[in-house]
Amino acid sequence: MKNKIMISISFLLFLIFLIFAYQISQTEVLEIDNFFIQHVVVNGRTDFFTVLFKLLTFFSSVAGLILFTILGLMLMKKKKEKLPFLLNIGGVVLFSQILKILFQRERPLLLYRLVEESGFSFPSGHSMVGASFYAYLIYLIWKGNLSKNKKVTITTLLSLLILGIGFSRIYLGVHYASDVLSGFCLGIGYTLIFILLKESSEKTPNKSLVRSFHYAGEGIISAFFLERNMKIHVFVMTLVVMAGIYFHISLVEWMICIVLFGIVISAEIMNTAIETTIDLVMPDIHPKAKFAKDLAAGSVLVLAIISIVIGLMIFLPKFWILI
């Protein structure tokens, strides 16, 4: 019964999104957009609300989400919950960016904006990702051992935060109301489907395809928490992503960076697997074992150096312009 309700809600939310998508394909600015521009952006701003909504929008910014994702991973006691947590946020970010490229709706006029933003407007990435991220936190809270009163309190606060993030994007003049509402629908609908798939995978036999992906994810998480070099790679990757957003690198440059991320991290995971296997079958020191480990580590180093060179080719000209 619960699953049917969640599927029905998701279907309804996706249907609302499709209605908005059709409407903006027919006209650039909807009536609901003009209403919020007139009553919120033009006539509703105060110094207090400007400070408040700039703070709220941070909770779904790139820096904010990275910070809260790291904190969430640190606070999670159950290791098996960490991979779905990362998959949920990663999936919704990718989904939102693909939709922006597909629709290519321009943002509201510059004269309405209180903060600088680049990229396309529909759907609102902050609203979509924020709704998904904090809705999934609500799901985890209700799975935990807190008292019902605490669960209700936290759920209420997170729900208000989701609404606040969305409203902040309208107030700050960087999104239309239809962008935000569509983002809410997609973010919550996506998360409901994700939760259904997650819970379904937990009930399937160990040899199922979904379970295989689960074990692969556990390997990635273990490599991150146990290997120092993996943490360095992820840290550098995070810096590159933030630099890419700051400098507004092109789609081709993003594709190059993403491919390099995958190659280097995959090589590091393979290096870890090789080292672990050698330690298992040959616990004593042996020249050939050392040679094999050195070769594996060397391959990662070569890929890392090549990635650094390509990264410098992409970002150095952009840094040079700033200087």
Give DSSP secondary structure letters for 184-212. HHHHHHHHHHHHHHHHHHHTS-TTSHHHH
Taking the C-alpha atoms of residue 189 and residue 135, their distance in angstroms, rounded to an integer, is 10
Residue 3 to residue 29: CA distance in whole angstroms: 36
Rounded CA gap, 194 and 117, in Å?
29
Token pair, residue 61, equals: 């910014």
- Out of 39, 175, 214, 286, pick the active-site residue: 175
Give the number of other Cβ atoms within 10 Å of residue 216's Cβ. Answer: 11
Active site residue 286: no
3-class SS of residue 39: helix
pLDDT at 286: 73
Active site residue 126: yes
Q: Catalytic: which of 39, 126, 214, 286?
A: 126
pLDDT at 247: 79
- Cβ-contact 73, 85 below 8 angstroms: yes
How distant, in Å, are the alpha carbons of 205, 209, 221, 227 from that of 214? Answer: 12, 9, 11, 20
| Rounded-to-integer distance, Cα 34 and Cα 65, Å | 30
Task: Give me the sign of the Cα torsion angle 295, 296, 301, 307.
Answer: positive
Listed as ranges, residues in the chain with pLDDT below 50 are 209
Task: Using the Cα atoms of residue 281, residue 282, residue 288 and residue 290 in order, give the sign of their dihedral.
Answer: positive
3 state DSSP class of 310: helix
pLDDT digits (tens, 9 = 90+) for 57-108: 999 888 888 888 888 888 877 777 777 888 888 888 888 888 888 888 888 8
Sign of CA dihedral 124, 127, 130, 135: negative
